[in-house]
């Protein structure tokens, strides 16, 4: 290498680095800015792609069909995180001040990234909507003013799972002596359900076995060997990404009765069951919305986003479980902005105003119908103290071709979960010198 | 022309043994350090938080690994584990003694990491090279497993996540969410400046020379009177201390909260790549390598939109990975001894400029 090329490289590097300093192109003043942390690459891409498409399609639909939220368009920008916490934080820092008023809200779609952003939210004044993931304790709005995890949380979900098992077994008193195993992703996310399952094990007397699977979860032989020995009556799983398909395959491999194997709502998407083929038939998972593309909102997306091209929409995962979940999450975000507009006027809003909108969000059955989502999910009302609402869950089952609902809406155990949430929130407040606000 | 030591006479042993014997070098380094301290005046939060703070912290970790691998010749893949010890122990110490200055907690955690490094260094007396790498890999997995398994390390937090509590230094918030990026940047920079200088002096002195003797040929070193037992273990301890301090800063000044995944094997590998690309056996190389590994991907991600290219985000990511990979190959082919060596060549050429022979 001679001096000339060296100098050239050095100059090139300098120019390049100085270029990074410039921020992305400024957005028009009159638009809501919603940043999107997505993962279209990496080991979690099979889950990340339908989610990213769902968000994109719903915001595009709102812009194309309604001309924005009450006439104010939504500007959105994707940033690739690979489901990696560090990249997620980098994306957050990059996008948080974009737009005229900064980011309206963040949907991290990763429990790890959510944990990182929770302490930043009150400082940057940008709310976080971690819909059914993230830190469960954030449901206590008195401590976690800026974080929302409605319509329901991991802890509520675990309690509803126990309720479901009781239903199937014929009553809560029948739980005594049952063997229940929890197969979980060995991370902050996977561990979330453990405390609830432990508390309920003590209360109802079932035997709980906790089985951790290390990231990313491709190797689970040891776990399933243990299950073969243990022969649990029910298995609950908190998995994500490639871990789910491997677990379903392994369960099929040891001929575990699939209808006693229930995933949480992140372990029940199409990509999780298809690789296991026929073996996956009968596998169940929790969810808080319906699967399939049979709702009016899907017709609208096909019409306005894909110009009627159904095949193209299919290619973009329309109707898949995670796609639908992202559509619902996008809908919550848009409705929160709409609620905030009711107070602050029809203009582009920043994080502080959208936080008010999230906290006062009242999603009624009538509103869901207007949105073309009647029966798609459940209505709920957020309040200052309760950022979760503890909504019910529903169990879906894979029949080899599609997911179908096999239960009614199963209530969560608010009386057990809420005191746990309050205790955890109080501990967090103490550790971080936060004075809970009055609600 | 400008960069020439003609006329600079050394009249004392002190002058002869300076780290930067050439006046121009000294001026350059002093200016660079001053400039680094003035960066918060012009850099925005994105730059500080997402680019510079991780770069500085990983530089510190890379220096730690370079002491062990580059100078003492002991290949280690346990960097992530030792950093995790630093991070988790800082958390334990600062939550157990909230009144203790958090920076002292970081240093104490570094000492604990040094002890752990000492223990995992013991196999190095018997095994070498790739086999030692595998033994240190055990440290990586064992330590993370331990922190994941034993609730005591995370104060029985149900999610197994540690969060940096707010702590102050001279009345200024230095950790926790309220701590501003410039403050955290300055703290990390001070740590790096101090420990880089310490490392530089360490490797110039008796200890560093004994490390290099062991690295170059351990039997010969033993014959001339260097005790491999103490020397190797000392290298492990000091290296782990650096990694531990870096780990503490990683959690407290950069991430804010962490789970064991933040310290996984990928981190160990990326620190190892930093010193390979930067230059084995070079303190400057550790810093340059850290800059290359942390900043180039960020630059590649941000470059296409800047020149007006808009492409799908996943394609952009794939291109980034490909370009980054080919850049690594390019640098290793052009200069296998690392970017630090390129820097040295540049300096030598510059001394002859404009009349090379």
Structure-model confidence comparison of residues A169 and A28, the more confident one: A169
Q: What is the mean pLDDT of residues A178-183?
A: 94
Phi and psi, residue B171, nearest 5°: 80, 0
Q: B158 and A19: CB-CB below 8 Å?
A: no
Spatial CB neighbours of A2, under 8 Å, sequence gap ≥ 6: B349
Q: What is the DSSP letter of B175?
A: E
Class (C level, CATH) for A154-287+392-413: alpha beta
Contact A143, A424 (CB under 8 A): no
Q: What is the mean pLDDT of residues A348-352?
A: 87
Q: B213 lies in a domain? A: yes
Contact A321, A269 (CB under 8 A): yes
Which chain B residue lies closest to A122 (C-alpha atoms)? B177
Banded model confidence at residue B114, pLDDT cuts 50, 70, 90: very high
B 192-251 residues inside an 8 A Cβ radius of A: none
Look up tokens 């009627």; give the residue: A308
Which segments of A173-212 does DSSP mark as H helices, in order? Answer: 188-191, 194-204
Are B52 and B25 members of one domain? no
Structure tokens at A23: 């921020």
B 332-351 residues inside an 8 A Cβ radius of A: 334-335, 342, 345-346, 349-350
Report pLDDT digits (tens) over A326-335: 999 999 999 9
CA A175 to chain B, closest CA, distance in angstroms equals: 24
Q: B49 and A122: CB-CB below 8 Å?
A: no
How many domains does chain B fold into? 2
Answer yes or no: is pLDDT of A11 > 70: no
Contact B86, B244 (CB under 8 A): yes
Banded model confidence at residue B350, pLDDT cuts 50, 70, 90: confident
Are B27 and B115 members of one domain? no
Strands A261-263 and A284-287: parallel
Are B143 and B31 members of one domain? no
CATH 3.40.50.2300 in chain A: give the residue spans: 27-152+292-391, 154-287+392-413
Are B34 and B115 members of one domain? no
Count of residues for chain A?
A: 439
Chain A residue numbers touching B335 (CB-CB < 8 A):
1
Structure-model confidence comparison of residues B356 and A209, the more confident one: A209
Q: B13 lies in a domain? A: no
Q: What is the mean pLDDT of chain A?
A: 87
Q: B303 lies in a domain? A: yes
B 250-269 residues inside an 8 A Cβ radius of A: 255-257, 259, 261-262, 264
Q: What is the pLDDT of residue B209?
A: 93
Q: Which candidate from A3, A16, A112 shows the least CB-CB separation from B346?
A: A3
ipTM exceeds 0.85: no
CA B331 to chain A, closest CA, distance in angstroms equals: 10
Distance between CA A132 and CA A148 in Å, rounded? 9
Q: What is the mean pLDDT of residues B73-87?
A: 92
CA B317 to chain A, closest CA, distance in angstroms equals: 7
Q: What is the pLDDT of residue A398?
A: 93
Q: B306 and A85: CB-CB below 8 Å?
A: no
Distances from the Cα of A184 to the Cαs of A365, B148, B279, in angstroms? 34, 13, 41
Strands A261-263 and A234-238: parallel
Distance between CA A322 and CA A48 in Å, rounded? 8
Q: Chain A interface, mutation test: which of B159, B263, B267, most A Cβ atoms within 10 Å?
A: B159
A 11-70 residues inside an 8 A Cβ radius of B: 16-17, 19-25, 38, 40-41, 45, 49
Q: Chain B interface, mutation test: which of A7, A112, A120, A133, most B Cβ atoms within 10 Å?
A: A112
Q: B313 and A78: CB-CB below 8 Å?
A: yes
Q: Chain A interface, mutation test: which of B298, B312, B314, B332, most A Cβ atoms within 10 Å?
A: B314
Structure tokens at B1: 């022309």
Q: Which candidate from A19, A21, A191 shows the least CB-CB separation from B160?
A: A191
Q: Please give the residue range of the domain that contains residue B28.
A: 1-8+18-41
Report pLDDT digits (tens) over B262-271: 898 889 999 9
Structure tokens at B247: 């780990």
Which chain A residue lies closest to B42 (C-alpha atoms)? A21
Are B57 and B1 members of one domain? no
Q: What is the mean pLDDT of residues B323-344?
A: 86
Q: B357 lies in a domain? A: no
Q: Which candidate from A93, A186, A192 shows the least CB-CB separation from B45?
A: A93
Q: What is the DSSP letter of A433?
A: T
Q: Which candidate from B45, B313, B350 shows the least CB-CB separation from A40?
A: B313
Q: Which candidate from B50, B255, B303 shows the least CB-CB separation from A19?
A: B303
Answer yes or no: is pLDDT of B2 > 80: no
B 61-100 residues inside an 8 A Cβ radius of A: 95
Q: A6 and B349: CB-CB below 8 Å?
A: yes
Q: A119 and B318: CB-CB below 8 Å?
A: no
Answer yes or no: is pLDDT of A19 > 50: no
Are B31 and B49 members of one domain? no
CA A215 to chain B, closest CA, distance in angstroms equals: 8
Q: B257 and A17: CB-CB below 8 Å?
A: no
Q: B303 and A16: CB-CB below 8 Å?
A: yes
Q: A212 and B158: CB-CB below 8 Å?
A: no
CA A90 to chain B, closest CA, distance in angstroms equals: 5
Q: What is the pLDDT of residue B106?
A: 93
Q: Lowest-pLDDT range, A17-31, A114-128, B281-295?
A: A17-31
Q: B64 lies in a domain? A: yes
Chain A residue numbers touching B58 (CB-CB < 8 A):
none
Q: What is the DSSP letter of B95?
A: H
Q: Tell how far CA B30 is from the center of its chain.
A: 21
CATH number at residue B227: 1.10.3470
Are B205 and B348 members of one domain? yes
Q: What is the pLDDT of residue A106?
A: 92
Instruction: Find, among A63, A198, A124, the residue nearest to A354 by Cα.
Output: A124
Which chain B residue lies closest to A81 (C-alpha atoms)? B317
Does domain A27-152+292-391 match CATH 3.20.20.80? no
Report pLDDT digits (tens) over B9-62: 888 888 888 888 888 888 888 999 999 898 888 888 888 888 899 999 999 999
Q: Which candidate from A20, A120, A187 shows the least CB-CB separation from B298?
A: A20
Report pLDDT digits (tens) over B237-250: 999 999 999 999 99
Are B35 and B169 members of one domain? no
Q: A116 and B303: CB-CB below 8 Å?
A: no
Q: What is the pLDDT of residue A10?
A: 56
Report pLDDT digits (tens) over B270-312: 999 999 988 888 999 999 999 988 888 888 888 777 777 777 8
**Percentage of residues of chain A with pLDDT beyond 90:** 39
User: CA quadruple A191, A193, A197, A198: dihedral positive or negative?
Assistant: positive
Are B201 and B344 members of one domain? yes
Answer yes or no: is pLDDT of A26 > 60: no
The answer to whether residue B322 neighbours chain A at the CB level (below 8 Å) is no
Report pLDDT digits (tens) over A63-94: 999 888 888 899 998 898 888 888 888 899 88
Are B3 and B23 members of one domain? yes
The answer to whether residue A381 neighbours chain B at the CB level (below 8 Å) is no
CA B233 to chain A, closest CA, distance in angstroms equals: 31
Distances from the Cα of A129 to the Cαs of A334, A419, B265, in angstroms? 12, 22, 31
The SS3 call for residue A208 is: strand
A 214-253 residues inside an 8 A Cβ radius of B: 215
Q: A432 and B176: CB-CB below 8 Å?
A: yes
Contact A248, A280 (CB under 8 A): yes
Are B24 and B132 members of one domain? no
Are B149 and B277 members of one domain? yes
């Amino acid at each position: 290498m001679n001096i000339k090329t060296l100098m050239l490289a050095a100059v090139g590097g300098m120019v390049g680095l100085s270029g990074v300093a410039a921020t992305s192109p400024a957005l028009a003043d009159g638009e809501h800015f919603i940043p999107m942390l997505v993962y279209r690459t990496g080991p979690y891409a099979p889950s990340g792609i339908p989610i990213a498409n769902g968000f994109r399609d719903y915001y595009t639909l709102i812009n194309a069909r309604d001309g924005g939220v009450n006439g104010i368009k939504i500007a959105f920008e994707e940033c690739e995180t690979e489901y990696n916490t560090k990249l997620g934080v980098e994306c957050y820092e990059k996008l948080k001040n974009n737009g005229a008023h900064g980011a309206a809200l963040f949907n991290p779609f990763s429990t790890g990234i959510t944990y990182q952003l929770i302490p930043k939210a009150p400082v940057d004044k940008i709310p976080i909507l971690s819909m059914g993931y993230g830190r469960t304790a954030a449901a206590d709005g008195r401590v976690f003013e800026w974080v929302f995890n409605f319509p329901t949380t991991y802890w509520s979900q675990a309690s509803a799972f126990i309720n479901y098992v009781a239903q199937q077994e014929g009553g809560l008193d029948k739980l005594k002596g049952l063997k229940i195993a929890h197969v979980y992703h060995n991370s902050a996310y996977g561990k979330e359900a453990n405390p609830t399952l432990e508390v309920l094990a003590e209360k109802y007397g079932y035997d709980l076995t906790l089985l951790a699977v290390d990231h990313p979860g491709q190797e689970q032989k040891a776990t399933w060997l243990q299950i073969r020995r243990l022969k649990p009556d029910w298995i609950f799983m908190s998995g994500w990404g490639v871990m789910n398909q491997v677990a379903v395959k392994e369960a099929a491999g040891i001929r575990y009765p699939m209808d006693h194997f229930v995933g949480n709502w992140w372990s029940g998407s199409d990509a999780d069951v298809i690789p296991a083929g026929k073996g996956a038939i009968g596998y169940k998972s929790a969810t808080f919305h319906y699967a399939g593309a049979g709702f009016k909102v899907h017709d609208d997306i096909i019409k306005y986003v894909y110009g009627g091209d159904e095949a193209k929409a299919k290619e973009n995962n329309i109707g898949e479980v995670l796609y639908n979940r992202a559509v619902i999450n996008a809908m919550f975000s848009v409705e929160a902005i709409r609620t905030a507009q009711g107070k602050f006027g029809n203009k582009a809003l920043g994080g502080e105003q959208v936080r008010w909108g999230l906290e006062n969000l009242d999603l009624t059955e009538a509103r869901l119908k207007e949105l073309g989502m009647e029966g798609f999910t459940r209505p709920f009302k957020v309040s200052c103290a309760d950022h979760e609402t503890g909504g019910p869950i529903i169990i879906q089952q894979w029949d080899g071709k599609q997911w179908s609902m096999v239960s009614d809406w199963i209530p969560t155990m608010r009386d057990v979960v809420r005191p746990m949430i309050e205790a955890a929130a109080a501990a967090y407040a103490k550790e971080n010198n936060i004075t809970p606000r009055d609600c | 022309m400008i960069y020439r030591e003609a006329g600079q006479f050394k009249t004392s042993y002190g002058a002869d043994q300076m780290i930067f014997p050439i006046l121009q070098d000294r001026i350059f380094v002093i200016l660079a350090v001053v400039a680094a301290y003035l960066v918060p005046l012009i850099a925005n939060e994105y730059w500080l938080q997402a680019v510079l703070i991780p770069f500085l912290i990983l530089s510190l970790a890379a220096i730690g690994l370079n002491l062990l691998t580059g100078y003492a010749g002991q290949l280690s893949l346990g960097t992530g584990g030792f950093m995790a010890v630093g991070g988790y122990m800082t958390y334990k110490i600062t939550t157990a003694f909230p009144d203790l200055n958090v920076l002292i907690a970081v240093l104490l955690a570094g000492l604990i990491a040094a002890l752990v490094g000492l223990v995992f260094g013991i196999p190095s007396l018997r095994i070498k090279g790739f086999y030692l790498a595998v033994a240190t890999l055990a440290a990586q997995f064992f330590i993370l497993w331990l922190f994941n398994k034993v609730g005591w390390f995370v104060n029985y937090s149900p999610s197994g996540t540690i969060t940096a509590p707010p702590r102050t230094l001279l009345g200024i918030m230095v950790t926790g969410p309220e701590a501003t990026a410039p403050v955290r940047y300055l703290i990390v920079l001070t740590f790096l400046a101090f420990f880089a200088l310490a490392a530089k002096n360490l490797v110039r002195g008796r200890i560093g020379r004994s490390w290099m003797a062991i690295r170059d040929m351990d039997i010969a070193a033993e014959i001339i009177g260097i005790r491999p037992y103490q020397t190797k273990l000392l290298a492990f301890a000091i290296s782990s201390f650096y990694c531990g301090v870096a780990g503490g800063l990683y959690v407290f000044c950069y991430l804010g909260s962490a789970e064991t995944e933040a310290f996984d094997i990928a981190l160990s590998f990326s620190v190892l790549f930093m010193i390979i690309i930067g230059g084995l056996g070079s303190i400057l190389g550790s810093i340059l390598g850290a800059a290359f590994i942390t900043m180039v991907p960020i630059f590649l991600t941000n470059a296409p939109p800047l020149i007006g290219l808009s492409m799908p985000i996943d394609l952009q990511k794939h291109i980034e990975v490909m370009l980054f990979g080919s850049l690594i190959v390019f640098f290793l082919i052009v200069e296998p001894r690392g970017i630090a060596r390129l820097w040295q060549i540049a300096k030598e050429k510059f001394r002859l400029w404009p009349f090379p022979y």
